């Protein structure tokens, strides 16, 4: 699966879509869903919650493990993808679009530039795959 | 030794002729009873007066069976189990060692088995003496100063230990805000820290699979209450910088907590108290051979250095007058009680029996044999499976499925195929820092012959992954129930039996 060119990525394998009117969607990458395996449960914040960059925003549970999802940027949650609670498998099927997790009103758009673009992220995961046995 | 092939793979456990066992609800018929009460020999009481309002007279649809039906139901189910008494149980991190029959003989001695925790201390001196003796033995083995036996299992031991740290730091003026935990830790560690009110910060492992010292140096400051460390860690590797780690933590006023889950790699060889640990827990059901999982309750004693003794749970067993023991509850700094009565007493009896039966030389040998067995497996399998860390192993070894994943065969598939060869699977996908982990812990209980059978099975599966990957991907084939849909079971769990609709 390709990584959208206009998204930004973290070393923890979250993505942030290009903001529109200061709002951006957040999700986890194809690499992350692949590593986790079948996702069976998702826990997300409520609309109105304030997210702090680098702090956990929720959890995803797969048949292998429970993992935290970290906020790639700071902002206030304006919408939550409620369909994920009934259909967590969406994250395995369509991680970069249909399985967005939250939409946030960014506190500040500038920190986005510090995240990886698609080219750098693809190089990063290639290194992760060969770095460890 | 004959080669194990898919054709002559032994079937798993024997099964009853019936391929499935109905639920008690489904074999129920009205009016049957599995019990008979003796005639009433006391005045009859009025239930209406004794029970609170709203108590039900009857539970509709409750199963009704005779005693033999009930016995057979559970006996049949028990034959579907896999247990250490049947064969190797290499579930890494869980230390599924043999539980000696001697432990059971001692635990059934009438005076120990029939005691009651509400007896006055004066008539339970033997039980109290036994607990004191076990505390002293555990203190000696760990190099710590004082021990509480109360916690019911490892995770409760962790919580007790972290609450002791919080109480100690609070008494010094500031309980602090964070706990550092390596990325290879057991999942219970961050859960414990969070429940005790701490924020968790992740400590990276380096290329050796050990704590990255530069990362510890950067993160260790005055806001950190403690480092929770497992040593040897979940990769089965000894943290060789442990003295430096302890120094860094102590220099900033933090405490060093050790998760003792892997203490079976150290007993008789190294003492946490000597390498800077302030608090730790032990798992009697791992290291000290008491039953594990469905076989019995756990026990998670906590050992501390003397400066933390005032914070230990109450009651404490202390020396009284005239050589007797008494229970002390008036200890103002104590974190309080963490478990009813004294903890899981039956496990204390078994653990002490194990310690005394082995003696100090025997305990040292169990450690050496556990390490030898793990390294034998590691050496015999390193041509078949990828080894992510070259650092020498102690009591367990962790491979990855990297070589097999090229054929689309993953650690979960290999584990399920192992059941076709008659073995309990190893631990799958843990520790999380190894993608596709196979975590194997043979313990000291296994003979060379049993280890060779396991190694032959693992090598055969590695070959199958090359030549017939679909066979491994669809395993198990020889078990009573074939592969289950784990994702569907987790997404749509059926948690309650419902009677079939009439007609």
Q: State ipTM.
A: 0.80
User: What's the CA gap between B423 and B91, in Å, rounded?
Assistant: 10
Residue B393 preceded by cis peptide, ω within 30: no
pLDDT at B481: 87
Whether B346 is covered by a domain: the verdict is: yes
Same domain for B239 and B310, yes or no, is: yes
Q: Which helix (H) or strand (E) holds B411?
A: helix B411-420
Same domain for B261 and B349, yes or no, is: yes
Which tokens is B78 given? 């028990």
Domain edge (last residue) among B336, B356, B376: B356
Cβ-Cβ contacts under 8 Å, A93 against chain B: none
Same domain for B336 and B370, yes or no, is: no
DSSP B164-219: HHHHHHHHTT---SEEEEETTS-THHHHHHHHTT-EEEEE-B-TTSSB-HHHHHHH
Q: Which helix (H) or strand (E) holds B418?
A: helix B411-420
Q: How many domains does chain B have?
A: 2
Q: What is the DSSP letter of B225?
A: E
The number of beta carbons lying within 10 Å of the beta carbon of residue B414 is 26
> Consecutive 10-residue runs of chain B (503 residues): their mean pLDDT?
54 51 91 91 89 82 92 90 92 94 96 94 95 98 98 96 98 98 93 96 94 97 98 96 98 98 98 98 96 82 98 96 92 97 96 98 98 98 96 96 96 97 95 93 97 98 98 95 90 86 60
Which tokens is B133 given? 């003796």
Cβ-Cβ contacts under 8 Å, B400 against chain A: 132-133
Query: Cβ B490–A40 below 8 Å, yes or no?
Result: yes
User: What's the CA gap between B342 and B333, in Å, rounded?
Assistant: 19
Q: Which fold has domain A8-108?
A: OB fold (Dihydrolipoamide Acetyltransferase, E2P) (2.40.50)
Counting as low any pLDDT under 70, the low residues of chain A are 130-133
Instruction: Please say whether the beta carbons of B389 and B372 come within 8 A.
Output: no
Comparing CA positions, the residue from B299, B307, B293, B254 lying closest to residue B281 is: B299
Residue of B nearest to A63 (CA): B487
The answer to whether B429 faces chain A, any CB pair under 8 Å, is yes
User: What's the CA gap between A17 and A106, in Å, rounded?
Assistant: 12
Residue B384, min C-alpha distance to chain A (Å)? 13
Question: Is residue B327 exposed (0-12), middle (13-18) or buried (19+ Cβ within 10 Å)?
Answer: middle
Question: Is residue B417 exposed (0-12), middle (13-18) or buried (19+ Cβ within 10 Å)?
Answer: buried
B2-8: list long-range contacts, CB under 8 Å, 24+ apart: B3/B456, B3/B460, B4/B421, B4/B453, B4/B456, B4/B457, B4/B460, B5/B460, B6/B420, B6/B460, B6/B464, B6/B468, B6/B471
Question: What would you measure as the largest C-alpha separation in chain A, in angstroms?
Answer: 43
Q: Which helix (H) or strand (E) holds B403?
A: helix B402-405
Q: Which residues contact A55 (CB under 8 A, 6 or more apart)?
A: A70, A71
Which of A41, A63, A88 faces B486 most closely, judged by CB atoms?
A63
Same domain for B324 and B425, yes or no, is: no
Cβ-Cβ contacts under 8 Å, B402 against chain A: 133
Which tokens is B272 given? 């946490």
The number of beta carbons lying within 10 Å of the beta carbon of residue B471 is 17
Which of B400, B402, B429 faces A64 most closely, judged by CB atoms?
B429
Q: Which residues contact B390 (CB under 8 A, 6 or more apart)?
A: none
Query: Cβ A38–B187 below 8 Å, yes or no?
Result: no
Instruction: Please say whether the beta carbons of A116 and A84 come within 8 A.
Output: no
SS3 state at B273: helix
Which of A88, A89, A133 faces B387 most closely, judged by CB atoms?
A133
Whether B489 is covered by a domain: the verdict is: no
The answer to whether A86 faces chain B, any CB pair under 8 Å, is no
Cβ-Cβ contacts under 8 Å, A66 against chain B: 187
Residue of B nearest to A37 (CA): B487
Instruction: Please say whether the beta carbons of A12 and A57 come within 8 A.
Output: no
CATH (domain of B115): 3.40.640.10
Q: What is the model's pTM? A: 0.88
- Any bridge partners for residue A103, and if so which? A25, A79
Query: Cβ A89–B491 below 8 Å, yes or no?
Result: yes
Instruction: Please say whether the beta carbons of B478 and B11 come within 8 A.
Output: yes
Domain extents in chain A: 8-108
Same domain for B328 and B383, yes or no, is: no
Same domain for B235 and B364, yes or no, is: no
Residue B358, min C-alpha distance to chain A (Å)? 38
Same domain for B377 and B475, yes or no, is: yes
Same domain for B200 and B265, yes or no, is: yes
Domain edge (last residue) among B321, B338, B356: B356
Residue B405, min C-alpha distance to chain A (Å)? 11
Query: Cβ B435–A64 below 8 Å, yes or no?
Result: no
Whether B255 is covered by a domain: the verdict is: yes
Q: For an interface test with A, which of B437, B473, B486 has the most A Cβ atoms less than 10 Å from its Cβ? A: B486
Residue of A nearest to B398 (CA): A133
Which of B435, B490, B491 faces A132 most closely, judged by CB atoms?
B435
SS3 state at B227: strand
User: What's the CA gap between B425 and B421, in Å, rounded?
Assistant: 10
User: Phi and psi for B249 in degrees, rounded to 5?
Assistant: -70, -45
Q: Which residues contact B251 (CB under 8 A, 6 or more apart)?
A: none
How many residues can be counted in chain B? Answer: 503
Query: Cβ B400–A89 below 8 Å, yes or no?
Result: no
Listed in sequence order, the DSSP H helices in B200-326 are 213-219, 242-251
Which of A38, A66, A133 faces B487 most closely, judged by CB atoms?
A38
CATH (domain of B420): 3.90.1150.10
The answer to whether A66 faces chain B, any CB pair under 8 Å, is yes
Domain edge (last residue) among B305, B334, B356: B356
Same domain for B289 and B403, yes or no, is: no
Residue of B nearest to A54 (CA): B201
Which tokens is A66 given? 């429970």
Degrees to nearest 5, angle at CA B214 with A28 and B169 = 90
User: Phi and psi for B302 in degrees, rounded to 5?
Assistant: -115, 130
The answer to whether B490 faces chain A, any CB pair under 8 Å, is yes
Whether B406 is covered by a domain: the verdict is: yes
Q: What is the DSSP letter of B487?
A: H
Same domain for B352 and B368, yes or no, is: no
Q: Where are the beta strands (DSSP E) in B241-322?
A: 255-260, 279-282, 302-304, 316-319
Contacting A residues, span 45-64, partner chain B, CB-CB under 8 Å: 61, 63-64
Comparing CA positions, the residue from B253, B234, B245, B132 lying closest to residue B183 is: B234
Which of A35, A40, A133 faces B386 most closely, judged by CB atoms?
A133
Contacting B residues, span 307-366, partner chain A, CB-CB under 8 Å: none
pLDDT at B18: 56
Counting Cα atoms < 13 Å in the Cβ hemisphere of B318 gives 13
Query: Which domain range does residue B335 map to?
Result: 103-356
The answer to whether A118 faces chain B, any CB pair under 8 Å, is no
pLDDT at B15: 43
Residue of A nearest to B390 (CA): A133
SS3 state at A91: helix
DSSP A62-82: ESS-EEEEE-SS-EEEEEE-T
- Any bridge partners for residue B267, and if so which? none
Residue A109, min C-alpha distance to chain B (Å)? 26
Q: Which residues contact B243 (CB under 8 A, 6 or more apart)?
A: B275, B276
Instruction: Please say whether the beta carbons of B155 and B190 come within 8 A.
Output: no
The answer to whether A41 faces chain B, any CB pair under 8 Å, is yes
Residue B386, min C-alpha distance to chain A (Å)? 6
The answer to whether A35 faces chain B, any CB pair under 8 Å, is yes
Same domain for B366 and B257, yes or no, is: no
Query: Cβ A132–B490 below 8 Å, yes or no?
Result: no
Q: For an interface test with A, which of B193, B429, B434 has the most A Cβ atoms less than 10 Å from its Cβ? A: B429
Q: Which residues contact A98 (CB under 8 A, 6 or more apart)?
A: A90
pLDDT at B497: 87
């Amino acid at each position: 699966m390709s990584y959208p060119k206009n998204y930004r990525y973290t070393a923890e394998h979250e993505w942030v879509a290009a903001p529109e009117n200061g709002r951006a969607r957040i999700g986890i990458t194809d690499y992350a869903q692949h590593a986790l395996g079948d996702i069976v449960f998702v826990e997300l914040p409520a609309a109105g919650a304030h997210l702090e960059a680098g702090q956990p925003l929720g959890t995803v549970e797969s048949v292998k493990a429970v993992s935290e999802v970290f906020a790639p940027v700071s902002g206030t949650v304006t919408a939550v993808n409620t369909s994920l609670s009934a259909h967590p498998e969406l994250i395995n099927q369509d991680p970069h679009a249909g399985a967005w997790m939250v939409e946030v009103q960014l506190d500040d758009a500038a920190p986005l530039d510090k995240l990886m673009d698609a080219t750098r992220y693809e190089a990063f995961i290639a290194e992760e795959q060969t770095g460890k046995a | 030794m004959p080669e194990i092939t898919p054709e002559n793979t032994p079937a798993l456990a024997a099964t009853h002729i019936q391929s499935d066992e109905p639920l008690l609800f489904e074999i129920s018929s009205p009016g049957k009873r599995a019990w008979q009460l003796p005639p009433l020999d006391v005045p009859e009481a009025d239930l209406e007066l004794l029970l609170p309002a709203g108590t039900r007279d009857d539970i509709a649809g409750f199963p009704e069976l005779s005693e033999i039906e009930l016995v057979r139901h559970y006996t049949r189910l028990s034959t579907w189990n896999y247990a250490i008494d049947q064969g190797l149980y290499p579930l890494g991190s869980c230390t599924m060692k043999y539980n000696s029959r001697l432990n059971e003989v001692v635990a059934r001695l009438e005076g120990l088995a029939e005691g009651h925790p509400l007896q006055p201390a004066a008539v339970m001196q033997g039980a109290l003496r036994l607990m004191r003796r076990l505390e002293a033995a555990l203190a000696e083995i760990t190099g710590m100063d004082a021990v509480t036996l109360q916690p019911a299992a490892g995770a409760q031991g962790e919580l007790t230990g972290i609450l002791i740290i919080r109480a100690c730091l609070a008494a010094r003026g500031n309980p602090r805000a964070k706990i550092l935990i390596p990325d290879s830790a057991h999942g219970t560690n961050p859960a414990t820290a969070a429940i005790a009110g701490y924020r968790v910060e992740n400590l990276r492992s380096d290329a050796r699979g050990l704590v990255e010292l530069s990362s510890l140096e950067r993160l260790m400051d005055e806001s950190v209450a403690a480092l929770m460390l497992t040593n040897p860690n979940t990769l089965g590797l000894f943290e060789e910088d442990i003295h430096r780690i302890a120094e860094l933590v102590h220099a900033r006023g933090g405490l060093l907590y050790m998760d003792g889950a892997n203490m079976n790699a150290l007993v008789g060889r190294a003492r946490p108290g000597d390498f800077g640990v302030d608090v730790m827990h032990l798992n009697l059901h791992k290291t000290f051979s008491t039953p594990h999982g469905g076989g019995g309750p756990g026990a998670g004693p906590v050992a501390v250095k003397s400066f933390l003794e005032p914070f230990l749970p109450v009651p404490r067993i202390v020396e009284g007058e005239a050589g007797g023991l008494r229970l002390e509850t008036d200890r103002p700094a104590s974190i309080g009680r963490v478990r009813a009565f004294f903890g899981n007493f039956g496990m204390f009896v078994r653990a002490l029996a194990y310690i005394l039966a082995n003696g100090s030389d025997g305990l040292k040998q169990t450690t050496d044999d556990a390490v030898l067995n793990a390294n034998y497996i590691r050496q015999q399998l390193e041509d078949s499976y990828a080894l992510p860390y070259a650092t020498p192993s102690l009591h367990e070894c962790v491979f990855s499925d990297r070589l097999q994943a090229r054929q689309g065969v993953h650690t979960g598939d290999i584990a399920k195929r192992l059941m076709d060869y008659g073995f309990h699977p190893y631990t799958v996908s843990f520790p999380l820092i190894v993608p596709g982990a196979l975590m194997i812990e043979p313990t000291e209980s296994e003979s060379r012959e049993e280890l060779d059978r396991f190694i032959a099975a693992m090598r055969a599966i590695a070959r199958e992954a090359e030549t017939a990957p679909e066979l491994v991907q669809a395993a198990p084939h020889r078990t009573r129930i074939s592969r289950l849909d784990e994702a569907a079971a987790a997404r749509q769990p059926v948690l309650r039996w419902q009677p079939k609709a009439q007609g």
